[in-house]
Every structure is written in structure tokens, then in C-alpha cells.
Amino acid sequence: MSESPSAPASSPSASTPTPRRSFWQGTYDSIAEPMRRWFRSDDEGQQGFRLKGNTRREKYTQMRLLFVDVGNASRSQMAQALALVAGFHAESAGTFPSMKLTPEAVQVMQEEGMDISEFRPKPLNTNRLGAFDRVIVFGDALPKHLTSGIPVDHWNVDDPQGYPVDGFRQVRRDLARRIKVMAKENGVKAPETVLLTA
């Protein structure tokens, strides 16, 4: 009685080879996938550009303000502290920053319970101007060619450098009034607690 021939045993070399991606295919995917995630329109919580509706910012939910002065030694620093207390995300910088804050600025803010003694003048990074919802410029601190396409407000607030302490108090009141109006116009609410950060 003849035996039926058995099926040949499969060998590893006979298995279906795993498809390999070319170098260019892998490179394309590494570039294209982040772009696809960035332009997705079906993710409400994404950071990036959405084709429909507005993108929700996960990292920054507060209205962002940047106060720009020349020396960044008094009024822009006072404005930053006042805006933080009002509920904004606020920063300040100078086009030619001084070495330290004006002592009178620290004193008059302390009178309102705001300690800015650890604040330091900082140089302006023009590459970050577009990261703010509003850039508030004092005097001619920011050249016009840098403000193209940037939401800029020019505030006519006196530079208190060289003023007596009462002059700094007047500037503080002027800044507080302007920031209060801006907060009301934009629906910004003051938080219960504030950490003043330089």
C-alpha cells in the first residue's frame, strides 16, 4: 500500500518576507505625521492649527500681555505686577534694559501689597512678540518696523525716573486704571491668589 506523499515542511526561508520601507518612505512619514496631527480638525483640544473653529490653547489659557519699555526698570515692571494681580499672564522687557529696578517703584508697589523686589530688568526678545495677545509699548520703546502684524497698544504713561515717590504713585494709579479697563473689556477675572513672577 503506497503512502501518500506528505506536504513539504515549510522552512523559514519560505515564509512571506516582511515588507521593508524605503529610506525615503520612513523620512516622509517622520515629517508628515506631525504635520497631520498639527492640521487635524477633529480634535478640539489640540495645540495647533484647526481648519474649523478656533484652536483652544492648552498651555496658555490667560490673555497674554507684554509691557515694553526702554529700561524696564519701573513703569513696565509695575504694569506687569498689576496685570498679574488682575488675572492676565503678563511679562515685561526693555529694549535697553537697566541694571536694576528703581527703588521707588519697588516701594510704591509694596504699599499695595505687591512685592516686586525680586523682579529684574530683562532684554526684549523680538522673536516672541507674536506670542502675546497684546503688546503694550511705553513711549517710543519699540521701533515701528517690529510691530507689523502685531497687536500693539501705545500707552502715554509718564516715565517716573527721577520723580519723587509721589510721581511713582501717580504712575501706579494710572497703570492700575488702564489695566482695570482692559480686564473689564476682555472679561478677565482676578484670581484669588497670585504668585508674582519676574
55 and 143, same domain (yes or no): no
Q: What is the value of pTM for the model shown?
A: 0.69
Residue 198 included in any domain = no
Is there a domain that residue 195 lies in? no
**Whole-number Å distance between alpha carbons of 105 and 169:** 8
C-alpha cell at 80: 506687569
Q: What pLDDT score does 43 carry?
A: 38
52 and 82 fall within a common domain: no
Q: Both 122 and 162 in a single domain?
A: yes
152 and 94 inside one domain? yes
Does residue 146 belong to any structural domain of this protein? yes
Q: Answer whether residue 103 is part of any domain.
A: yes
Query: What whole-number distance in Å separates Cα of residue 95 and Cα of residue 111?
Result: 28
Q: Are 109 and 194 in contact (CB under 8 A)?
A: no
In a domain? residue 18: no
**Packed helices 165-185 and 75-86: angle between N→C axes, nearest 10 degrees:** 40
Whole-number Å distance between alpha carbons of 108 and 111: 5
Which pLDDT score, from 0 to 100, does residue 38 have? 44
In a domain, 79, yes or no: yes
Reading the block at residue 78, the C-alpha cell is 509695575
Joined together, the cell numbers standing for residue 7 give 506536504
**Is there a single domain that holds both residue 68 and residue 112?**
yes
Looking at the structure, do residues 121 and 80 belong to the same domain, yes or no?
yes
Is residue 14 included in any domain, yes or no? Answer: no
pLDDT tens series, the chain, 198 aa:
545 555 555 444 455 555 555 555 555 555 655 554 444 433 333 333 333 344 344 455 789 999 999 999 999 999 999 999 999 999 999 999 999 999 999 999 999 999 999 999 999 999 999 999 999 999 887 888 887 888 999 999 999 999 999 999 999 999 999 999 999 999 999 887 766 766
Please give the tally of structural domains in the chain. Answer: 2
Residues 103 and 121 in one domain: yes
What domain range includes position 70?
64-185
Same domain, 79 and 174: yes
Residues 157, 120 share a domain: yes
Residues of 90-127 as b/e, b for ≥16 C-beta within 10 angstroms? Answer: bbbbbbebbeebbebbbebbeeeebebeebebeebeee
The answer to whether position 2 is within a domain reads no
* Amino acid, res. 161: Q
Same domain, 48 and 115: no
User: Which grid coordinates belong to 21?
Assistant: 520601507
Give the separation between CA 110 and CA 113, rounded to whole angstroms. 5
For residues 168 and 115, state if they share a domain: yes
CATH number at residue 82: 3.40.50.2300
pLDDT value, residue 145: 81
Q: Kindly state whether residues 153 and 79 are assigned to the same domain.
A: yes
